[in-house]
Amino acid sequence: MLEKRKPLPIHEAVGKIMDIKIDQETEIVPLKDSLNRFLAEDIKAKHDVPHFNRSPYDGFAIRAEDTRLAETGNSIEFEVIEKLAAGTVAEKKVGPFQASRIMTGAQMPDGADTVIMLELVKTYEKNNKDYISIKRKQHSGENVSFKGEDAKQGELLVQKGTIINPGVVAVLATFGYHQVKTAKKPVIGLFATGTELLEVSEELVPGKIRNSNAHMIQAQAERAGAEAKYYGQLPDDIDICYSAIKQALTEVDILITTGGVSVGDYDIMPDIYKRLEADVLFNKVAMRPGSVTTVAKLDRKILYGLSGNPSACYVGFELFVRPVIRTKLFSDKPHLRREEAWLNVDFPKANPFTRLIRGNLSFEQGKLRAEPSGLDKSSVVMSLAGANALIVLPSGTRGYQKGDIVDVLLLEDYEGSKGAFKGV
Ligand SMILES: Nc1nc2c(c(=O)[nH]1)N[C@H]1C(S)=C(S)[C@@H](COP(=O)(O)OP(=O)(O)OC[C@H]3O[C@@H](n4cnc5c(N)ncnc54)[C@H](O)[C@@H]3O)O[C@H]1N2
Ligand code: MOO
Ligand SMILES: [Mg+2]
């Protein structure tokens, strides 16, 4: 008799996975290779930035009090005593009615407390000495970049688990991190199952299709911050699949298979979990697509049986694999970022399962607008190409109308959220 599957609400299914103790490992990488890796430690300012008061302009460093009487009809004269290039340190202290010519980025000389821009002074020579005259009052501290104004020593700047973007690279370089402690990229094993599958390079033949899932999952794994170790395609043969999976499990902690998780005669994954004596956490989720997503645990290893249907496979990965990857990458917001958007189309049909529509999000007058990115069927591929979000339509007795505010899960975002599902 056909085994009856109990559909779990999405948040419960996600919760079961997140209850698993997930290992985190670190890896030191050179700064130049750190882009898009995830920080494995908090980055705190090792010193003040800048670490000396400096000039933000090319001009003259002077004492503000000497300009007290300067105004349009009253020029004040200063003798230029030194020239300060960026990277040098003044030898002379600026005294009353003295000025040091200073370049942008150069350390302020002692005695001076303001910089007047080059464009605002008149320069001239007298008795073989350089002078400037000023017709503008300056305030103490005006045009000075103060020590520590960018960062104070000890300040927390970037949190562990943050993705290293070009700005973070700049922060790391500023504090001398030529080696960076990052999260080790999780390696996820991957098989595509299905006797109907052709390699991408093969010509079509009747009844067969090219294997898109394997390549899609590899790309999703990379987008999430992991690496996929692709073990190839397997026919729907229980012995072949069992031994290939058993062998792969000696090499990886997370193993994804696509296909063969439903109730067809050649859907062999349920039997394989039995043979492996894996603990099946769930084999039905109250969502569409991806209702057949199956997750099992074997010792500390996680086995994902994602659907063969491409859209279901895609959604299953984003909901159930991505948070594990991001947790391994030290993120405390491992789930897809959730925002609200207004629907730009009607979905009149009620649905017994929560729908996750592959959607396109865009801004209209500053507000997020969501619409489907193509045909909303579990078996389709094309709508995935334009999807930058999943539109969440909770199950219920009524449909949704254009203008309704709905939750959307962002697919191309680095921030994430602590929990992506409220009550679904
Ligand atoms: N009687 C029922 N039939 C089905 C049910 C059900 O509850 N009762 N569930 C349906 C749902 S929902 C889904 S989703 C699919 C899940 O199918 P499987 O996970 O068992 O996957 P397969 O049967 O192996 O393949 C389904 C579909 O996807 C194509 N496929 C498979 N692998 C790939 C690949 N690597 N690249 C591209 N496309 C792939 C495959 O050719 C099939 O067309 O079951 C429903 N049936
Ligand atoms: O798992 Mo199926 O995708 O719900 O169509
Ligand atoms: Mg099937």
Geometric angle at alpha carbon 293, from 288 and 299, rounded to 5°: 155
State percent of the chain over pLDDT 90.
96
Ligand 1 atom with the shortest distance to the CA of 269: 20
What are the residues facing 105 on neighbouring strands? none
- For the domain covering 10-28+185-328, report its CATH number: 3.40.980.10
Report the CATH fold assignment for 33-48+150-183. Answer: Molybdopterin biosynthesis moea protein, domain 2 (3.90.105)
What's the one-letter identity of residue 121?
A: V
In a mutational test of the pocket of ligand 1, which residue from 220, 307, 380, 382 has the highest number of ligand atoms less than 8 Å from its CB?
307
- pLDDT digits 0-9 by tens, 109-127: 999 999 999 999 999 999 9
Q: How confident is the model at residue 1 (pLDDT cuts 50, 70, 90)?
A: low
What is the atom index within ligand 2 of the atom nearest the CA of 307?
A: 1
Confidence at 2, pLDDT banded by 50, 70, 90 = low
| Segment 379-396 mean pLDDT | 97
Ligand 1, atom 9: nearest CA belongs to which residue? 262
Ligand 1 neighbourhood includes 212 CB (under 6 angstroms): yes
Region 322-340: mean pLDDT is: 97
Fold adopted by 59-134: Molybdopterin biosynthesis moeA protein; domain 3 (2.170.190)
Of 311, 300, 303, 299, the residue nearest 283 (C-alpha) = 303
- Domain spans of the chain, in order of start: 10-28+185-328, 33-48+150-183, 59-134, 337-410
Whether the CB of 13 sits within 6 Å of ligand 1: no
**Residue 409 C-alpha to ligand 1 middle, in angstroms?**
24
DSSP 145: B
Hey, what long-range contacts does 90-94 have (CB within 8 A, 24 or more apart)? 94/61, 94/62, 94/63
Whether ligand 1 lies within 6 angstroms of the CB of 380 is answered as no
45 CA distance to ligand 3 middle (Å):
54
Q: Which atom of ligand 2 is closest in space to residue 293's alpha carbon?
A: 1
312 CA → ligand 2 middle, Å? 5
Q: Please tell me the distance from the alpha carbon of residue 188 to that of residue 322, in angstroms, as a whole number.
A: 11
Query: Can you tell me which atom of ligand 1 is nearest the CA of 267?
Result: 20
Give the HSE-up count for residue 232: Cα atoms under 13 Å, Cβ half-sphere.
Answer: 6
Distance 308 CA to ligand 1 centre (A): 4
- Mutation test residue for ligand 1: of 292, 294, 319, the one with most atoms within 8 Å of CB: 292
194 Cβ below 6 A of ligand 1: yes
The pLDDT confidence band at residue 397, using thresholds 50, 70 and 90, is confident
Q: How far is the CA of 263 from the centre of ligand 3 (A)?
A: 6
CB atoms within 10 A of CB 299: 8
**Which CATH code for domain 337-410?**
2.40.340.10
- Cβ 286 vs Cβ 5: under 8 Å: no
Is the distance from CB of 150 to CB of 51 less than 8 angstroms?
no
For the CA of 291, the nearest atom of ligand 1: 12
Mean pLDDT of the chain: 96
290 CB under 6 A from ligand 2? yes
* Predicted interface score ipTM higher than 0.95: yes
Q: What is the pLDDT of residues 307-321, one digit of tens each?
A: 999 999 999 999 999
Q: Find, among 76, 78, 68, the residue nearest to 138 by Cα.
A: 68
Mean pLDDT of 391-410: 95
As a whole number of angstroms, the distance between CA 314 and CA 358 comes to 10
Q: From ligand 1's centre to the CA of 56, what distance in Å?
A: 63
Predicted pLDDT at 419: 86
pLDDT single digits (tens) 233-291: 999 999 999 999 999 999 999 999 999 999 999 999 999 999 999 999 999 999 999 99
Identify whether the C-beta of residue 307 lies closer than 8 Å to the C-beta of residue 275.
no
Atom of ligand 2 minimally distant from the CA of 290 = 1
Cα–Cα separations (whole angstroms), residue 408 to 119, 322, 365, 389, 411? 52, 16, 18, 6, 9
Q: What angle in degrees, to the nearest 10, is found between the helix axes of 238-248 and 269-276?
A: 50
For a substitution probing ligand 2, which of 378, 393, 395 has the most ligand atoms within 8 Å of its CB? 378
Q: Would the pLDDT of 97 be above 60?
A: yes
| Ligand 2 in reach of 288 Cβ (< 6 A) | yes
Range 145-155 average pLDDT: 98
Task: Please name which ligand lies nearest the alpha carbon of 378.
Answer: 2
3-state secondary structure of 381: coil
pTM of the model: 0.93
